[in-house]
Amino acid sequence: PDYKQHSDVLESMIIKLYSKGVTTREIADLIEKMYGSHYSPAQVSNISKQMIPKVEAYHKRKLSDKFFCVYLDATYLPLRRETFEREAVYIAIGIKPNGHKEVIDYCIAPSENIEVWTDMLQNMKSRGLKQVELFLSDGVVGMKTALARTYPKAHFQRCLVHIMRNICA
């Protein structure tokens, strides 16, 4: 239609590339090379903002009531906010009784600490996750206590990969 600056196909591709971690500048360069259309990084950023309601809905969705096992870990990734700093990306991955794996939730914070983990666990419980048989996590201080408060019947095991890394270090 008149005055429409981009096609739905390009918008869809931009959103998919952005969700895979491709930067706005890289996406703008790819579109120009592939389609001959010029998109500024700011235009790409504006299109990618369409994902915000979907991300918010993801973080509010109802969760399964039972997982056999839940892995909790954080990794540091360089994220661009006000500066280019490495921030902790917390992630909870669950395995259902039928063996299906699911990313239960994730969040981003400047550094890993037990307060963020506690909030994340309480949020998961309030969204419907009532029973977990086993939690696996690294040795973050206070994790066992936070799990006992939120899921008192669950077992806790320290991740063997993290134990081996600590021994080797």
Look at residue 3 in the predicted model and tell me its pLDDT: 47
113-165 pLDDT tens trace: 999 999 999 999 999 999 999 999 987 889 999 999 999 999 999 888 777 87
Share of the chain above pLDDT 70, in %: 92
Q: What average pLDDT does this structure show over 52-67?
A: 92
Q: What average pLDDT does this structure show over 48-52?
A: 81
- Cα distances from 58 to residues 2, 52, 147, 158, in angstroms, run 34, 10, 23, 28
Residue with the larger pLDDT of the pair 52 and 162: 52
Look at residue 81 in the predicted model and tell me its pLDDT: 65
77 DSSP assignment: E
Query: How does residue 111 score in pLDDT terms, banded at 50, 70 and 90?
Result: confident
Domain positions in the chain are 8-58, 63-168
Residue with the larger pLDDT of the pair 26 and 90: 90
Neighbours of 142 (CB within 10 A): 12
5-45 pLDDT tens trace: 556 777 777 878 877 777 788 888 888 888 777 777 788 88
- Specify which residues 91 forms β-bridges with: 73, 106
Look at residue 4 in the predicted model and tell me its pLDDT: 54
Q: Is 29 left (phi over 0), alpha (psi -120 to 50) or beta?
A: alpha
Given this structure, which CATH class describes domain 63-168? Answer: alpha beta
Look at residue 149 in the predicted model and tell me its pLDDT: 95
pTM of the shown model: 0.75
Look at residue 80 in the predicted model and tell me its pLDDT: 66
